[in-house]
Structure 1
Amino acid sequence: MAKGEQQCPAGSASRGFGRIWARAALARGDRVAATARDVASLADLVTEFSDVVLPLRLDVSDKQQVTEAVATAREAFGRIDVVVNNAGYGLVEDVTEERARAQLDTNFFGTLWVTQAVLPVLREQGSGHLLQVSSIAGIASWPMGPLPRLQGGGRGPDGRPRAGGGALRDPCNAAGTRPVPHRLARQFGRVGRGRTALRRARPRPVGRRGPGDPEATAGPLMELVDAERPPLCAFLGASALETARAVYEDRLHIWELWGPVAKAAQGN
């Protein structure tokens, strides 16, 4: 992949991490197929970067749209070198079945549809990166925390997983969640006090560090893409690493404690 000739379909590039990463790729000379449900939100990128950015309308929960977007990007640029699978959002504890299923359509099936659409292209090319962006909520959970996004699961054409997670300030909206139903807020008293309580109850990373700066993720993401031997899984944000370390140390302790039960279940 020659620098300045990469193509990076960046999940939703209309806002948030997708916008930050798409702009970073464009700024360094890469060509980008930027997707969004409303392509009008990409107008400023088109104006600034002209023909090196390809705006595509895409709702990842629509499998046909995903297939068409990947085909269009490949036809326009000749190849696809980097795919950032980052579309997703969170829901808090008190959710309806309808809202939970809608989230799965984006967070799970959207990720699956994009993966299925691009893997044949990457295999045919014999190269490429598929970055599955997840959340630290896929490893750790908190009271009243959001339903997590898909954690890991994706693999590149060489059979190596591509995944990531982090604890960062969400550049889109508060905690990346859908609005909280008023009935949940009323459990804390008045709606105003309920929203304050919910904000205070949001996940806080383990350790002294707070959530990181979303803009600071652009450089590290480009470094991962350019690495000769990229990691199978990487965190964006030191606090996420601290949280994962604490979670897995606790799990290993419990598993070792109950090791005799695991061995007894083997039967020999």
Structure 2
Amino acid sequence: MAKTIFITGASRGFGKIWAEAFLERGDNVVATSRSAGGLKDLVVKYGSVVLPMELEVTNRAACFDAMAKAKFHFGSIDVVINNAGTGLFGTVEELDEQAAKDIIDANLFGTLWITQAALPIMRAQGSGHIVQLSSALGIYSFATAGMYCASKFAVEGLSEALAQEVKGFGIKVTLVEPNGYATDFNNSSIQSNPISAYDNMKAELYALPEFAAADAYGDPKATSEAILELVDTPNPPLRLILGKKALPLAQYIYAERLATWEDWKDVSVKAHGL
């Protein structure tokens, strides 16, 4: 049976790849983008099973309006994929005030507004699956990606709470955490104004295998099968890493964190005071 999939940021990158994967197998897709021009080819190729919408996810009222139109058009919303977002790179000292606010507005609040718009529909249906595009940089952080990581860490916290709140309504939540992929994300991201004091640190950072290895960045088209499997499984995970790079690094980083907490356990316990 065909599903209705609502995907934000569907004009390029993961959003477009996943939209095409759903359409190829016969699902209905509500494809949104800040510019509807990037969605025309989907409509030409797939016709009436695509509902294209121009949407700025930072506009809460527009998100609710778009979700209502999608529900009216297709009759249900089975899966929401909060894919829209932006990147910002630079050291903490280099960050521009407006750019820092904008990335939180897009990556966190855009996700929140779309989620809030979908929940009443899914509660009434007694079913639904909300897929939040997080990042491997939502479970650990790299220098020069602090603000981007902060936005994804926030999506992680929001969505983990959400999953507990809505499970009784038959609504499932999954955080998708890709490692680096060869999309146009880096080229489309905002770069801060550099401070020369950080030049050596950046040069050393980007020479690391995590960035310089031939297989550092995955093939984005290879993610489609995983996403299709994710939305079809009756018991999807809360978190799904995409790619082969993130899990080993996460295991290493979290082992270090646990060891540090254990080393300082006596201090922590004393600080409880009772």
Quote how far apart the aligned CAs of 1:185 are. 6.9
Matched, 1:158 2:164: no
Tell me what 2:5 maps to: 8
Using the TM superposition, give the Cα deviation of residue 168 of structure 1 relative to its aligned residue in structure 2, in angstroms: 2.5
Q: Which residue of 1 aligns with 2:47?
A: 50
Residue 179 of structure 1, aligned match among 191, 196, 199 = 191
* TM-aligned CA deviation for residue 179 of structure 1: 3.5
Deviations 1:138-187 (A, max 9, x none): 22222222522323222353255421212132412327621343x44796
- State the secondary structure of the residue aligned to 1:158: helix
For residue 10 of structure 1, report the CA deviation from its aligned partner.
1.0
User: SS of the counterpart of 2:37?
Assistant: helix
Give the alignment of 1:1-268 within 5 angstroms.
2=1, 5-92=2-89, 93=91, 94-147=94-147, 148=149, 149-151=151-153, 152=156, 153-154=158-159, 155-156=162-163, 157-158=166-167, 161-174=173-186, 177-181=189-193, 183-184=194-195, 188=199, 197=203, 200=206, 204=210, 210-268=216-274
State the alpha-carbon separation in 1 of the partners of residues 242 and 102 from structure 2.
Answer: 27
SS of equivalent to 1:84: strand
Q: Which has more helix, going by share of residues?
A: 2
Quote the offset at 1:115 in angstroms.
0.9
TM-aligned CA deviation for residue 98 of structure 1: 0.8
The 10-residue stretch of structure 1 (65-74 or 134-143) with the greater mean CA deviation from structure 2 = 134-143
> What secondary structure, in the 3-state scheme, does the structure 2 residue paired with 1:9 have?
strand
Partner SS state of residue 51, structure 2: strand
Q: TM-score, normalised by structure 2?
A: 0.86
Taking structure 1 as reference, are residues 146 and 47 closer, same or farther at Cα in structure 2, changes over 3 Å only?
Answer: farther
Q: Distance in 2 between matches of 1:10 and 1:99?
A: 24
The 8 Å contact of residues 4 and 76 in structure 2, kept in 1 or not, is answered as yes
Amino acid paired to 1:150: K
Larger RCO (CA under 8 A, 6+ residues apart): 2
Number of matched residues?
258
Contact 1:169 1:175 in 2 (8 A): no
Structure with greater proportional strand content: 2
Q: Which runs of 5+ in 1 are unaligned?
A: none
Q: How big is the alpha-carbon RMSD for the aligned residues of Structure 1 and Structure 2?
A: 2.6
Q: Distance in 1 between matches of 2:37 and 2:188?
A: 22
Say if 2:87 and 2:185, in contact at 8 Å, map to a contact too.
no
CA–CA distance in structure 2, aligned partners of residues 177 and 66 of structure 1: 23
Q: Quick check: 2:209–2:216 contact (8 Å CA) kept in 1?
A: no
Q: Distance in 1 between matches of 2:66 and 2:82?
A: 13
Gaps of 5+ in 2: none
Q: Deviations over 1:197-230 (max 9, x none)?
A: 499368927x996221111111001101101111
- Partner of 1:150, secondary structure, is helix
Asked if 2 retains the 8 angstrom alpha-carbon contact of 1:18 and 1:86, the reply is yes
Identity of aligned residues (%): 38
